[in-house]
Amino acid sequence: MRPDLNTKSEVQMIIDNHVHAFPDQGGPETGPNPEYHVLMMQRTVKDFWGRMVSSHTDPKYIPGPDEDVDFKVGKYGRFHWEKFGESCWIQRGSPTFQAMEHPPEQMIAHMDLAGVDIGVIQAEYLELNKGRESYFAECLRKWPDRFIGTAAINYDLSKDDHYLESEIHKLTHAVEEDGFKALFISHVANRQPMNDTRCDPLWNEVVRLGIPAYLNTGFTSRENYLGQLQRTEEILEKHPGLNIVDAHVGGNIRHPSNPDYVETPQELDKLLRTGRFYIEVGYVLAYENFDIWGEDSQYPYPIHKQIIKTIYETYGATTMVWGSDMPWALRVSTYRQNVDLIRLQTEFMNKKDRDLLIGGNLARLFKIV
């Protein structure tokens, strides 16, 4: 029997900090405006370019954010479009996908096979359309012992105070009424100054609710990334009761030849020393393009392993959480391999610290043990 999230247990749980469940991203189930939803996905291609495998490598083939390129969500994990007379694609999901969907039942089957007890559903740009909240609330209602939900809000500082208050209200309702256990800040807000004084009511409410905040950084230029980290430092300093989780190992892993390269984890030093900032390891998708990374793109991903070792030896095990980014992780590894990055590839850790990394730290954040 899987542990009940509402009871304390001495059983060591394995908790995946980063999973996704979603209906067909090319179908009508995405919400009241499927066309806009597809456009939102088109706008993300520029962030993925050079990381994911694609039909073309020249950036001129990247579809513009609102460009009419006949963008489609296709089969086998691919986005398709036409540009400069060429048929283009990028491998967004695993080729094992039929449609671009990953229902909660499928995620649970993966978890059972790999020995994972609980998955934290991180809601991202795919889940922000109106009407989608019920999809995730239903996941939590049906499988309260298998999923932890993050409530996605779009805290857009370009809008008025009334709008921002409504987003905070959405978060409060999701936590107090629907069982969500964390805040997820959208990609829009991640590119805005979340240390702005207009954000103080949001951070105060997160602290009041006693939940962590998922404020993902990266997938941008080196300059912007370092700016995000600086603002995050200021947020944590101003709100001493706040805990922040940052996914994708910071999200700006680049090859040393790239002009946006940052020698991770050095840039995270001040954040990791706060004791209230958690970096998610397990995001080996950063190394998926063999043409860029060569042998470093192969399991057990030696650069990623060295990042974990450096963080562990400098800051300890309490600063990290493991997350796979399933089902996107299937582009490069099996789910079992991703779990084993911690279970089998951290020989420099003792068992107690390994248990913290693979579940204990999250169990404490979510108050489930």
Domain ranges of the chain: 15-22+102-365, 28-91
* Pair 106, 73: CB distance under 8 Å: no
pTM: 0.92
Q: How far apart are CA 186 and CA 132, in angstroms?
A: 14
Report pLDDT for 276: 98
Q: Which residues pair with 72 in a beta bridge?
A: 80
Structure-block tokens of residue 9: 């247990």
Local confidence band at 134 (pLDDT 50, 70, 90 cut-offs): confident
Local confidence band at 133 (pLDDT 50, 70, 90 cut-offs): low
Top CATH class of 15-22+102-365 equals: alpha beta
Local confidence band at 132 (pLDDT 50, 70, 90 cut-offs): low
User: Mean pLDDT throughout 188-205?
Assistant: 90
Closest to 213 (Cα-Cα) out of 247, 164, 179, 237: 247
Higher-scoring residue by pLDDT: 3, 247: 247
Local confidence band at 188 (pLDDT 50, 70, 90 cut-offs): low
Closest to 121 (Cα-Cα) out of 339, 366, 311, 317: 366
Q: How far apart are CA 235 and CA 212, in angstroms?
A: 13
* Pair 324, 18: CB distance under 8 Å: yes
Burial 263-289 (b: 16+ CB within 10 A, else e): ebbebbeebbebebbbbbbbbbbbbbb
Indicate if the pLDDT at residue 187 is higher than 90: no
Indicate if the pLDDT at residue 131 is higher than 60: no
User: Mean pLDDT throughout 310-314?
Assistant: 98
38's CB contacts (< 8 A; 6+ apart) are 25, 26, 71, 72, 73
Report pLDDT for 7: 44
Local confidence band at 340 (pLDDT 50, 70, 90 cut-offs): very high
* Burial class of residue 18 in the structure, from the number of CB atoms within 10 Å of its CB (0-12 exposed, 13-18 middle, 19+ buried): buried
Residue showing tokens 């009241």: 32
Structure-block tokens of residue 144: 């309260």
CA terminus-to-terminus distance, the chain: 16
Indicate if the pLDDT at residue 128 is higher than 50: no
Average pLDDT, the chain: 91
Indicate if the pLDDT at residue 175 is higher than 70: yes
Higher-scoring residue by pLDDT: 33, 51: 51
Local confidence band at 3 (pLDDT 50, 70, 90 cut-offs): very low
Q: How far apart are CA 128 and CA 112, in angstroms?
A: 28
Phi, psi of 183 (to 5 degrees): -95, 140
* Burial class of residue 250 in the structure, from the number of CB atoms within 10 Å of its CB (0-12 exposed, 13-18 middle, 19+ buried): buried
User: Mean pLDDT throughout 34-52?
Assistant: 88
User: Mean pLDDT throughout 302-326?
Assistant: 98
Q: How do 182-185 and 213-214 pair as beta strands?
A: parallel
| 73-87, 124-138, 272-286, 299-313: range with lowest mean pLDDT | 124-138
What Rg do the C-alpha atoms of the chain give, in angstroms?
20
Q: How far apart are CA 26 and CA 9, in angstroms?
A: 41
Indicate if the pLDDT at residue 358 is higher than 70: yes
Q: How far apart are CA 143 and CA 22, in angstroms?
A: 15
Q: How far apart are CA 248 and CA 284, in angstroms?
A: 8
* Pair 257, 230: CB distance under 8 Å: no
* Pair 88, 78: CB distance under 8 Å: no
Report pLDDT for 11: 47
Reported as half-sphere exposure (CB side, CA atoms, 13 A), residue 257 has a value of 4
Higher-scoring residue by pLDDT: 77, 11: 77
| Rounded alpha-carbon distances, angstroms, from residue 116 to 52, 66, 101, 322 | 26, 40, 21, 11
